[in-house]
Chains A and B, each alone.
Chain A
Amino acid sequence: MTGVRLPHARPYRAGRVSWLIRPRGVVAGLVGLVLITALVALSLRIGDFPLSLAEIVDSLTGTGGNHFVVVELRLPRALTGVLVGAALGLSGAITQSIARNPLASPDILGVTSGASVTVVAVIVASGTVYGGASGPLASVGVPVAALAGGLAGAVIVYSLAWRRGLDGYRLVLVGVGVAAVFTNVKYWLMTTGDVNDSSRAMVWISGSLSGRGWEHVVPVAYALAVLVPLCLVGTRVLSALRFGDETATGLGVRLNTARALLLLGAVLLAAVAVAAAGPISFVALAAPQIALRLAGVAQPPLVVSAVTGAVLTSAADLAARTVFAPAELPVGVVTAVLGAPYLIYLLVRARREARS
């Protein structure tokens, strides 16, 4: 390999293992991590009850009087945002690479739409029958329903799209069909119930981090700890897939196995994230597209996508609970308001650069 020069990357080799380091991607990832730290710190400080950094450090070490506010209220919420954002960003990056389609997101895997329809059904049914979901139903029932619905949706898409292997194009078309059913059943359910139930369902479908505690952080953290390394192993496969099925096979990729496993990873990541915070809109679609433009590569980079998703979600949640304080918006309303203009700016800038 000596003599081969890549313009934006540097190869490293240790024994039989070699990998490429792209400086721009590394910088993007590091800046993202710094931003995440800053955003978490800010969301610990800001609230009904502004705290100084010293007070926060005191509370975290367990001596301050604000222990409850910081450790039981603000920290788990901020961490849920970071983890859920990272999971959605990574899931979106995998989906877009496999479908070879920048408009793809876990929505076409049936996860988010399956979860949405189940949860809306639970909210509408419980609203009219039991006079309002609260207590155990709201805290346990909804996440479990979301997880079950999301996985069921994915199984349906998966099994319908599988036909002597998993073809990216067929997956997209089947995903579109299944998502259409789920989405419209969801709309119909929203018209059947009381208008208040529709509003509460709307909050959930938008994605919300309101009142998330450690019970939401821990499962997502475990899931990410297992799934992220597994998905990163697939990076090589994903970059080979970009060149088409034939080339990827020629490069020694076991196409069907690799695609099936990576999609499974994407489904699980999205399902866990959705169960914790609802289908926060736009993150899974936008984070990979923003990340690939920041890192200057042709295909969604997995780590940078996860970091971008985390930054987008945390920033959105900070805005969602402070801009109209004391009122609070669902985080999913803000992700698009923040993320869409930025994605548009990147698109316009890319065209300017292409011209000059």
Chain B
Amino acid sequence: MSALRPRRRGAGVPAALVVAVLAAAVLSVMIGAKTVPPADVWHALWFPGGTENDIIVRSLRVPRTVLGVLAGVALGVAGALMQGHTRNPLADPGLLGVTQGAAFAMVLAIIVFGVSDIYGYIWFGLAGALIASVGVFAIGAVGGRGGPSPLTLALAGTAVSAFLYALTSGLVLVDEQAMDVFRFWQAGSIAGRGAGVAWQILPFIVAGLVLAMANAPGLNALSLGEDVARSLGRNVTATRALGITAVTLLTAGAVAACGALAFIGLIVPHLARALSGPDHRKLVPYSGLLGAAALLLADVTGRILARPGELEAGVVLALLGAPFFVMLVRRRKPVRL
């Protein structure tokens, strides 16, 4: 119980996080192969004309930034929920087979159906992610009452993920074109997706966020143990099902569009937990904001580091974020799940 340090904080932390996301978004619109000065950004956003900067901002930078915010929020929130439900610090949002389901469906789409444009892959990725997650939940629920236990879910998810990953790697080894798409998808990036992609995944992410916020109080009760939650009047099965639906929608949307970035959802909640403590009503939104800020900053840094080319956001995030995370883990006593 030492984790429950009673510490009163006002609106400071959420406000700071919102400012961080906005600042990261501004940087993301300004910085790139061609730097666009703030005045031109303002002009492009409100009084678009036909200048070069207007086109860069409106057709490239803004869609990319919006996608980064969507994916970052989605993965941060999904990670917080997943770790809360499984009570396992190793749980990432892809744990229930979502990431590998998306990967397998996309590779299958390329090899079997000859799909070659990104809008096509994404539908397959979303479908694969949803099917895999439902499958894992069904395996966990087979033959038992009262919904699957977190341990069964985690193990079943890991098994299904490993199975799908094996099939995917078998497929990409025989098809060079699929390998070429897969290796870039695997590294994770929000570059070059266009505004259409953000619209494609928006409904999934909005629905997921609504469910996630509805799930947070129930998750607090569950973290006291299933028996206590039950005696507090919570329906454990319904709470779990709600949380897992939210995680699936959020992760499927983010991963199908941006690649295997699910480890943002692994690390960000641990960072957010240091700010929020164990209360999921705070942890869930904090994780979302932190996820968005982290993904955007990583993306911007990737554009600066490898100018005029870019480094994938996933790689930068791991290179910069993970050492920071390790340092944090070493310096403080971690807030346990």
Contact = CB atoms under 8 A, between A and B. Distances in A.
Same complex for A and B? Answer: yes
Interface of A: 101-104, 108, 160, 163, 169-170, 172-174, 176-178, 180-181, 183-185, 187-188, 190-191, 195-196, 198-199, 202-203, 206, 281-282, 285-286, 289, 329-330, 332-337, 339-341, 343-344, 347-352, 354-355
B91 interface: yes
Contacts of A188: 187, 311-312, 315
A351 B142 contact: yes
B125 interface: no
B145 interface: yes
A173 B162 contact: no
A281 B89 contact: no
Contacts of B312: 187-188, 191
Contacts of B334: 169-170, 173
B234 interface: no
B144 A195 contact: no
B207 interface: no
Contacts of B148: 351
B33 to A, nearest CB: 18
Given A339-B162, A344-B156, A355-B145, A180 B183 contact: no
Given A173-B326, A180-B321, A347-B155, 20 more contacts: A108-B90, A169-B336, A170-B330, A177-B322, A177-B329, A178-B322, A180-B267, A183-B318, A187-B188, A188-B311, A281-B162, A281-B165, A282-B166, A329-B170, A335-B166, A339-B159, A340-B159, A351-B143, A351-B144, A352-B144
Contact of B143 (A177, A286, A352): A352
B330 A176 contact: no
Contacts of B158: 103, 285
Counting chain B residues whose Cβ lies within 8 A of the other chain, the interface size class is: 35 or more
B139 interface: yes
Interface in B287-337: 311-312, 314-315, 317-319, 321-323, 325-326, 329-330, 334, 336
A344 B159 CA distance: 7
Contact of A333 (B160, B170, B266, B336): B170
B315 A185 contact: yes
Contacts of A332: 166, 169
B227 interface: no
B159 A348 contact: no
A208 B134 CA distance: 32
Interface stretch (B15-23, B66-74, B173-181): B173-181
A207 B325 CA distance: 30
Contacts of A285: 158, 162
Contacts of B199: none
Given A184-B319, A198-B183, A348 B162 contact: no
A347 B180 CA distance: 36
A217 to B, nearest CB: 25
A152 to B, nearest CB: 16
A24 B188 CA distance: 46
Contacts of A191: 183-184, 187, 312
Per CB-CB distance, the 3 closest pairs between chain A and chain B, nearest first, are A184-B318, A340-B163, A336-B166
Given A185-B319, A188-B311, A286-B162, A180 B263 contact: yes
A185 B322 CA distance: 12
Interface SS of chain A: helix
Contacts of A354: 144
A335 B312 CA distance: 31
21 contacts: A172-B90, A173-B329, A174-B326, A177-B267, A178-B322, A184-B318, A187-B183, A187-B312, A190-B187, A195-B183, A196-B176, A198-B180, A202-B172, A335-B166, A337-B163, A339-B159, A340-B163, A343-B155, A347-B140, A348-B142, A351-B143
**Chain A CB within 10 A, most for which of B156, B166, B186, B270:** B166
B90 A351 contact: no
Contact of A184 (B163, B167, B187, B270): B187
B124 to A, nearest CB: 21
Interface in B120-134: none
A192 to B, nearest CB: 10
B94 to A, nearest CB: 12
B139 A347 contact: yes
A174 B332 CA distance: 12
A162 to B, nearest CB: 9
B151 interface: yes
Contacts of A108: 90
B326 A187 contact: no
B155 to A, nearest CB: 6
Given A180-B322, A203-B173, A351-B144, A102 B179 contact: no
A283 B325 CA distance: 28
A169 B160 CA distance: 25
Contacts of A180: 263, 266-267, 318, 321-322
